[in-house]
Chains A and B, each alone.
Chain A
Amino acid sequence: MLQPSRVKKVLDVALERGAQFAELFVEDTYSSNLSLIDSKPSQAVVGRLKGAGIRVFYGHEQIYVTTNDLSEVGLLKAARTAAAGRVGTSGEVTRIEAKDFSPARFDAIHTYGTKPWEYDRDKKFSHLMRMDRAARGHSALVSQVEPMLIEKTQKILVANSEGLWAEDERNYVRVFLDVTLEEQGVQESQHARAGRLGTSEWFDTVDFEHMATDVVDRAKVLLHADFAPAGEMPVIIDNGFGGVIFHEACGHGLETTSVAKGGLGFCGKMGEKLAESCVTAIADGTIANTWGSLTIDDEGMPTKKTVLIENGVLKSYVVDGRGAKQTGFARTRSGRRQSYKYAPASRMRNTYIAAGEDRLEDMIRDIDYGIYAKDMGGGSVSPGTGEYNFAVREAWLIENGKLVKPVKGATLIGRGIETLGRITRVGNELKLQDGMCGSVSGSIPTTVGQPAILVSKMLVGGR
């Protein structure tokens, strides 16, 4: 993407005020979003993101400068801005020079095929129409269908003053489908998402009709659901996207961006037993062609698999380069960012609770009164206190060991580390689900996942 001689010149300028480390991240990304509404094309947008970020460190102090100008003049200007961010020093500075680059070689983990600009727009239109027709044909209650195809090809270069030179190309494809049903003035919506680290020919393998009819069926359940009861009770959170609670309420607390601030309750707990022995949690960037996977992270390090919690005991945090310096914990090669517009930070990849031994039916059977959260919505967590809130898209009331009726409008609230300690049973069917995770370094593709889990007590907000 850039000549090594130009990159070295840029890094040397960034180091000229005495920084101990300098890094250049360059990106060229093509993206495409196509969607329908009212059975007609709605959005047809192609974008080209192009720019660079320069990062320097003075001890733990980080300075990050971005620019769209990739000419030598533009990059040197950004490097000077980064160097000039260092203030308050006087006298001579110890200046180092960037080492000569040694290009990194990585094993190919993922396979790619047809790029978004090579895949015919007519075929994309045909896929969108298949979803639209299938949803509308499945129920006369369908009032709106909004399918969308998203494609992205991201080319990156990471080079730093320690001689690292790493280039990578990442391809992402994703399908969104939102469906709204209306009956006697009452509207309910449901959605489906599917995505992978891969290229556009994957669309040829997706069963769009099944996806559409399944969403309609799930929306119908909401249409006839009562409101959830309110109060504290046992909750079974189903597999797949149910893992979003672990991701938000615990996973973010394990990132060194949080640990270094002492937030979310996981700081200082390394080696402690935080959960029952049935709980093992993993962050893995190596699963082939999976949404949250990588080949290298955004600091140029080859990705790996990390056990975060093993049989209830905290074994590792999620650690990037800066986090390793700040906390002293081993780097888990988890430096990630949305684009060159963000400095990298410790972030999750494919992060999930590993399969246990229980069957979902047995867990339900053993509950007198509680909630089965079949499909989770989104949520958020307070970074200071670790208190979280999550919406349940589809829930069922459990009475005397049986699912008695669907309920809606349930919100689950609690504190991450306390909820982790209340997971008493873990199911035997692990399922992963793609998602987007927003945090300090932007919105990135991550996978959440888990088998069904039983939380012995949660506060359910309903009516």
Chain B
Amino acid sequence: MELMKQMEDRFTRISELARRDGVEAELLVEAGESLKLSVSEGKIEKFDASQSQVGGLRVILDGVEGYSWTEGLEGGDLESAYAEALQNAKFAKRGGPVAPAEHVTLYSGAEVTEDPSLFNDSQERFSIEEKIERAKALEREAKAVDPRIAKVPYNAYVESKGEVLVMNTKGVRARQRSSGVYCYAYCLAKQGEETRSAGETSFTRFADQVPIRETAHDAALQTIEKLGAVSPATGEYPIIIRNDVAAHFFALFKNYFSAKAVAEKTSLFATDRGQHVASPLLTITDEPRLKDGIGNRVFDAEGAPTAKVDVIKNGRLENFLTNTAYARRLGLPHTASAERSARGVLDIGFSNLVIEAGKDEFSALVKRYPKVIVITSFQGYHAGFNEGSGDFSLSAEGELWENGVKMKPLKGFVVSGSVKMLLKDIEMVSNRLCKITSSAVAPDLLIRSLAVAGSA
């Protein structure tokens, strides 16, 4: 993109200012375009097209950071943003002298080569009429599955493409383009007075491979399967967290594995590196180059090249994720896990959180106990999770299985427990990983026992 070339030129001026002021500076630019099409009763309900650009500046003065960002990217805008970031760095210095280990500095290293697999121009090969037809097909196909599908109130065909540039005054320059297409359908089924809802999402990097029909069908079938649901009796049950739900559930507390959370005393596992914190069946990795991964990145937000990191291996906590500052501060290996949006501050995060698949078939998990609840969705993740204590109490939907046979759908219940106990109580791990629809991937997990509150 022309913009990125201009930004590289303008950063030359920022570098001059930084040299004059005796500071280090880093520029993160994000630019992109997106299109979202939603349909209601065969007509376009939402046609949103956006063009966006933002530059984020990080200035380091005597080891402390100040930030600013701007959506105006003309020469004067960027210089004003630099001045604000410098003022903020001076504000941050009010905390007093910085201990040598906490002295923040910029990453320096070789230029990283762009990953060509993350971007293609397939979106350009389809007309707007064809894209609208895809959005309409999502609704139409879902409704055609069963007359009890009353509506598809939330559906969309979403395209996006963008580019990220990281440059700093230590010579780092890293640039990556990416593109992708999402589609989702969220159905409402009616049977008498009862209404149930469910949805399905799909992602691909290729606009000619969007599984519209499959997504619509899966959404409709999942919704129909929920009809006739009852609330279970209150008690303790063995619980299977279905693979797609497990992926979202583990993403809820992934911050525990950040070195920043360790330093800020918000990680539940702050003192557990090298210890067995989970069942030996559990292995979690960060995989920045996962096949078909959504969170793939060849460099992190500081421009450092990425690689796979073992976080938990066979139940043992091997590594916390780090950026340059926290690797230095805590004396940990640098895992190149810096994360930052142009509008935010430097943080640490997973690229793709991957829970390794086990050896058992799903059918073996549901036969493990005479009666088991399979969780098909959790709601209210953030409200129902206490990050400080690791306790959770989540509204859920699911299925009751007895002796390996699905008996009935369940609704209106709450599952409670603690993350620490849950990790240790993983009794079986299935061999089927969920479809990739987010930057977390997981198999089905059988938990020995969790508290269930229902109204039966």
Q: Does A165 contact B (CB under 8 A)?
A: no
- Closest CB in chain A relative to B37 CB, distance in Å: 9
A238: shortest Cβ distance to chain B, in Å? 17
With contact pairs A41-B64, A66-B50 given, residues A121 and B414 touching in the complex (Cβ less than 8 Å): no
**A62 close to B46 (CB less than 8 A):** yes
Q: Which residue of B lies closest to A229 (CB)?
A: B453
Known: A44-B92, A460-B453, A461-B453. A66 touches B414 (CB 8 A): no
B67 touches A45 (CB 8 A): yes
Flag if B91 contacts A125 (CB, 8 Å).
yes
Q: Which of A230, A377, A408 contacts B383 (CB 8 A)?
A: A377
Residues of A close to B54: CB separation below 8 A: 68
Contact B128 A230 (CB under 8 A): no
Let me know if B95 and A384 touch, CB within 8 A: no
Nearest residue, chain B, Cβ from A258? B153
- Residues in A neighbouring B451, C-beta threshold 8 A: 230, 462-463
Distance, CA A187 to CA B388, complexed state (A): 5
Number of A residues contacting the other chain (C-beta, 8 Å)?
77
**Interface set, chain B 21-69, CB cutoff 8 A to A:** 40, 43-54, 64-69
1/0 contact trace for A135-158 toward B, CB 8 Å? 000000001100000000000000
A387 contacts across to B, CB distance below 8 A: 379, 395, 411-412
Does B172 count as interface, using CB distance less than 8 angstroms? no
Distance between Cα atoms of A69 and B384 in the complex (Å): 41
- A residues within 8 A CB of B243? none
A241 to chain B, nearest CB (A): 12
| Contact A65 B96, beta carbon cutoff 8 Å | no
| Distance between A346 CB and nearest chain B CB, rounded to angstroms | 14
> Are A46 and B380 within 8 A (Cβ)?
no
B386 within 8 Å of A by Cβ? yes
Cβ distance A186 to chain B, nearest Cβ, rounded Å: 7
Are B380 and A180 closer than 8 Å at their CB atoms? no
If A187-B389, A263-B153, A389-B395 touch, does A341 touch B345 (CB 8 Å cutoff)? no
Are A409 and B416 neighbours in the complex by a CB distance under 8 Å?
yes
- Contact (Cβ within 8 A) A85 B49: yes
Answer yes or no: A401 CB below 8 A from chain B CBs.
no
- In Å, the complex CA distance between A84 and B67 comes to 39
Question: Is A60 an interface residue when CB atoms closer than 8 A count as contact?
Answer: yes
Are B384 and A411 closer than 8 Å at their CB atoms? yes
A78 x B77 contact (CB < 8 A): no
Q: Which chain A positions have C-beta within 8 A of B382?
A: 378
- Tell me if B408 is interfacial: C-beta within 8 Å of chain A: no
CB-based A-B contact count at 8 angstroms: 238
Q: Does B234 contact A (CB under 8 A)?
A: yes
A286 to B149 Cα, complex, angstroms: 42
CB-based contact A41/B91 at 8 Å: yes
Are A411 and B132 in contact, with the CB atoms below 8 A?
no
Contact A180/B91 with A46-B68, A61-B47, A409-B416 known, Cβ cut-off 8 Å: no
In the assembled complex, B113 has its CB within 8 A of some CB on chain A? no
A47 at the interface (CB under 8 A from B): yes
The answer to whether B129 has its CB under 8 Å from any CB of chain A is yes
Contact of B69 among A48, A69, A341, A383 (CB under 8 A): A48
Name the interface residues of A386-406: CB closer than 8 Å to any CB of B: 387, 389-391
Of the candidates B186, B268, B380, B384, which one forms a contact with A384 in the assembled complex, judged by CB atoms under 8 Å apart? B186
The answer on a CB contact under 8 Å between A121 and B91 is yes
In the bound complex, CA of A233 to CA of B88 (Å): 51
Q: Are A180 and B40 in contact (CB under 8 A)?
A: no
Checking B196, B265, B453 against A231 with a beta-carbon cut-off of 8 angstroms, the contacting residue is B453
Q: What chain A residues lie within 8 Å of B40 (beta carbons)? A: 261
Give the chain A neighbours of B77 by CB distance below 8 A.
Answer: 48
What residues of A have a CB within 8 angstroms of the CB of B383 in the complex? 377-380, 389-391, 411
Determine whether the beta carbon of A385 is less than 8 Å from that of B196: yes
Return A49 CB to nearest CB of chain B, in Å.
6
Interface flags for A36-70 (1: CB within 8 Å of B; 0: not) read 11111101111111110000000111111111110
- Interface membership of A268, Cβ < 8 A: no
* Closest chain A residue, CB of each to CB of B40: A261
Q: What DSSP secondary structure best describes chain A's contact surface? A: strand
Indicate whether A423 reaches chain B with its CB closer than 8 angstroms: no
> Does the CB pair A180–B265 fall under 8 Å?
yes
Residues of B within 8 A of A413 (CB): 395, 412-414
- A49 touching B71, Cβ below 8 Å: yes
A87 at the interface (CB under 8 A from B): yes
Known: A41-B64, A384-B197, A411-B395. A66 touches B51 (CB 8 A): yes
A323 to chain B, nearest CB (A): 13
CB of A64 within 8 A of CB of B46, answer: yes
Determine whether A424 belongs to the interface, using a CB cutoff of 8 Å to chain B.
Answer: no
Given A66-B52, A231-B453 in contact, is the A391-B94 Cβ separation under 8 Å?
Answer: no
Residues of B65-118 whose CB lies within 8 A of A: 65-73, 77, 80-81, 84-85, 87-96
Is B393 in the interface zone, CB < 8 Å from A?
Answer: yes
A residues 160-217 in Cβ contact with B at 8 Å: 180, 182, 186-189
Within B392-422, which residues are at the interface with A (CB < 8 Å)? 393-395, 411-417
Q: Chain B's nearest CB lies how many Å from the CB of A359?
A: 29
* Complexed CA–CA distance, A109 and B154 (Å): 37
A40 engages B49 (CB within 8 Å): no
* Interface pair B345/A45, CB less than 8 Å apart: yes
CB of A123 to closest CB in B, whole Å: 11
Closest approach, in angstroms, between the C-beta of A237 and any C-beta of chain B? 15
> Does A262 sit at the interface, judged by CB under 8 A?
yes
B98: nearest chain-A partner, CB-CB: A40
Also in contact, A391 and B151, with CB within 8 A (given A384-B195, A413-B412): no
Complex Cα spacing A48 to B68, Å: 8
Q: Would you call B455 and A64 a contact (CB within 8 A)?
A: no
- Residue A122 interfacial (CB < 8 Å): yes
Return the contact of B153 from the options A45, A261, A343, A409 (Cβ within 8 A): A261
Question: Is there contact, CB below 8 Å, between A78 and B51?
Answer: yes
| CB proximity of A154 to chain B, nearest CB, Å | 13
Question: Is B234 within 8 A of A230, CB to CB?
Answer: yes
Per-residue interface assignment for chain A, residues 409 to 451, with 1 indicating a CB less than 8 Å from any chain B CB and 0 otherwise: 1110100000000000000000000000000000000000000
Q: Are A411 and B414 in contact (CB under 8 A)?
A: yes
Residue pair B95, A40 in contact (C-beta under 8 Å): yes
A235 at the interface (CB under 8 A from B): no
A60 to B46, CA, bound (A): 10
Q: How far is the CA of A408 from the CA of B391 in the complex (A)?
A: 10
Given known pairs A62-B47, A411-B384, the reply for A143 and B391 (CB within 8 Å) is: no
Q: Is the CB of B453 within 8 A of A44?
A: no
Beta-carbon contact of A409 and B391 below 8 Å:
yes
Judged by a CB distance under 8 angstroms, whether A369 is at the interface is no
Contact of B128 among A84, A122, A232, A382 (CB under 8 A): A84
The CA-CA distance from A172 to B131 in the complex, in Å, is: 40
User: Are the C-beta atoms of B380 and A47 separated by less than 8 Å?
Assistant: no
Inter-subunit contact B70/A48 (CB<8 Å): yes
Chain A's closest residue to B346 (CB) is: A43
CA distance A61 to B41 in the complex (A): 11
**A87→B35 CA distance, assembly (Å):** 15
Contacts of A328 in B (CB 8 A): none
Does B387 interact with chain A (Cβ within 8 Å)?
Answer: yes
Report if A81 contacts B (CB, 8 A).
yes
A40 cross-chain contacts in B, Cβ below 8 A:
92, 95-96
A85 near B47 with CB under 8 A, answer yes
> Can you name 21 A-B residue pairings with CB atoms under 8 Å?
A37-B264, A44-B88, A45-B343, A46-B87, A46-B88, A47-B70, A47-B343, A61-B43, A61-B47, A67-B50, A87-B132, A88-B132, A121-B90, A144-B265, A180-B266, A262-B151, A384-B188, A384-B195, A384-B197, A409-B391, A413-B395
Nearest 7 CB-CB pairings of A with B: A461-B414, A384-B197, A230-B453, A389-B395, A40-B95, A44-B88, A189-B388
Known: A378-B382, A463-B417. 11 other contacts (CB 8 A): A49-B71, A62-B44, A62-B47, A67-B50, A144-B266, A188-B386, A380-B383, A385-B197, A461-B413, A461-B414, A462-B416
